[in-house]
Structure 1
Amino acid sequence: MTDAAPARSRRVPAVVVAVLTLAASTTLANRVLPGWAYPLCGSVAALVLVLLGRAAGCTWRDLGLRGFRRPALVGLAGAGLVALVFGIALAVPALRTVYQDGRVGEPDLAQLLWLTCGRILFGTVLIEEVAFRGVLPALFGAADDRWRWGPIAAAAALFGLWHALPALAIGRNAAVHAVFGATPAVVLQVLAMAAAGVAGIFLHWWRHAGRGVLASVIVHFTTNAGGLTLAVLVR
């Protein structure tokens, strides 16, 4: 038996445990736990997944958790592009409906800081990037130095499924409602999950270009937190 065979034998059950961990995490976060526990649940799940990846034989490099300078610089470049896109959408009146989202409410400054730096950063971005751009691609056999569609697409598909519960409320966004208002809820949910899967591939490109999960963390956080902040400002 080659050295690769035992590694694969460890990674198959690790994938199963990782998927079960993620399923439990999203169910607890979206259906069971109080709001204050949302980032705690995501952080604990991220730690469990990292330990699982290491136990399965993945290196820190495999997991995208080695290095700082290049991932940070690439991530900041991506954040700049996201900010540019947001600025264009904000400047064009016809595009401002993108920021009109019934899920946002009317948070004050303290609540906005909690939502962006608490819930989004630790409850959403951390777990999603560690899981779907770090641990799962590594367990599926992705290599840090080259693009491999199989592992990346598999992780992106699971990323889409991960959004099954959040996608139930996607119709409350004004732009989505204007385009898909007559679409059955289940179809809209599937479309939202498919869009999340495509976004997963996009985010993995940043992780790949930066040679680290930190790059996709920065892009992901800028997208989610920036979008929420603008939605609050233009409501």
Structure 2
Amino acid sequence: MANEVLPSWAYVPWNLTVAALLLLIAVRWDGRSADDLGLEPRKVQSGLRWGGGASAVLLSIYLIGLAIPFTNGLFQDSRADISLGALAWETLIMVPLGTVLMEEIAFRGVLPAMFRKRFTHHANGPLRADLVAALLFGFWHVLPSWNVSTVNPVFRDLLPGTLGQAAAIAAGVIGTGAAGMGLSWLRNRSGSLMAPVLMHCSSNSLGYLLAWIVQH
């Protein structure tokens, strides 16, 4: 969301600062441990395995979608009509450091850990914590979804105008909320935040790369 309201040069340092502050709040104020936050060093290897495997599956799905004419249009995004240098900046710096790190620390690390503490005495407390965090993750993407109907011809042709914009926002919120639950599952299954970080990076950066290929 910060990329919609901040100058481009401030995006990465701002989000890294936010991520650090969230971790400080979780540890110092709420008493969360490294393991609670998915940052236990001994579980990084597990996170790499699960995140790498999930990313490979995602790449296969992307390539199938790119090869099928019916779904190929989903990769036609005017935001990817940029130079090779700009593509490298977006996929290697902006996405992992400016977007993914902060969002994963917030929505798969800090918030679920803090919600779990408050849902300790509720039935299915961990599931509730993940659901609330995923819902917030979905609403976090309202602004990024705002212009999808204007930059993607599939959305623009299918539902033009205000209706298309509303549909794009709704799809963005629901889709990212569901993705948030999938990323939470990866984090819980692996025990490490590394798994959803890898998957999230792959989702965004590979999507950007394939959209760039389609544009060129």
Higher relative CO (Cα under 8 Å, sequence separation at least 6) belongs to 2
Task: Please give the secondary structure, in 2, of the residue aligned with 1:134.
Answer: helix
Describe the superposition over 1:201-229 as per-residue Cα deviations: whole angstroms up to 9, x where unpaired: 11111111211111001011001000000
Give the alignment of 1:189-228 within 5 angstroms.
Answer: 189-228=169-208
Correspondence for 2:12:
39
After TM superposition, give the deviation of residue 99 of structure 1 in Å: 0.5
- The answer to whether residue 27 in structure 2 is matched with residue 49 in structure 1 is no
Segments of structure 2 that go 5 or more residues without pairing to the other structure are: none
Paired residues, what number?
Answer: 205
CA separation in 2, counterparts of 1:176 and 1:221?
Answer: 24
Q: Is the 8 A contact 2:13 2:98 kept in 1?
A: yes
Correspondence for 1:22:
none
After TM superposition, give the deviation of residue 176 of structure 1 in Å: 2.8
After TM superposition, give the deviation of residue 147 of structure 1 in Å: 8.3
CA separation in 2, counterparts of 1:180 and 1:200?
Answer: 26
- The answer to whether residue 21 in structure 2 is matched with residue 78 in structure 1 is no
- The answer to whether residue 154 in structure 2 is matched with residue 175 in structure 1 is yes
After TM superposition, give the deviation of residue 195 of structure 1 in Å: 1.7
Rate the CA distance shift 1:147–1:77 in 2: closer, same or farther, 3 A.
farther
Coordinate RMSD, CA, aligned: 1.9
Of residues 81, 87, 107 in structure 2, which corresponds to 1:112? 87
Of residues 26, 29, 32 in structure 2, which corresponds to 1:58? 32
Correspondence for 2:73:
97
After TM superposition, give the deviation of residue 170 of structure 1 in Å: 1.6
Task: Please give the secondary structure, in 2, of the residue aligned with 1:103.
Answer: helix
After TM superposition, give the deviation of residue 109 of structure 1 in Å: 1.9
Q: TM-score, normalised on structure 2?
A: 0.88
Q: TM-score, normalised on structure 1?
A: 0.81
Correspondence for 2:141:
163
Segments of structure 1 that go 5 or more residues without pairing to the other structure are: 1-25
Describe the superposition over 1:152-178 as per-residue Cα deviations: whole angstroms up to 9, x where unpaired: 010011101111211111212233334
Deviates more, 1:168-177 or 1:96-105: 168-177
Task: Please give the secondary structure, in 1, of the residue aligned with 2:189.
Answer: helix
Correspondence for 1:124:
99
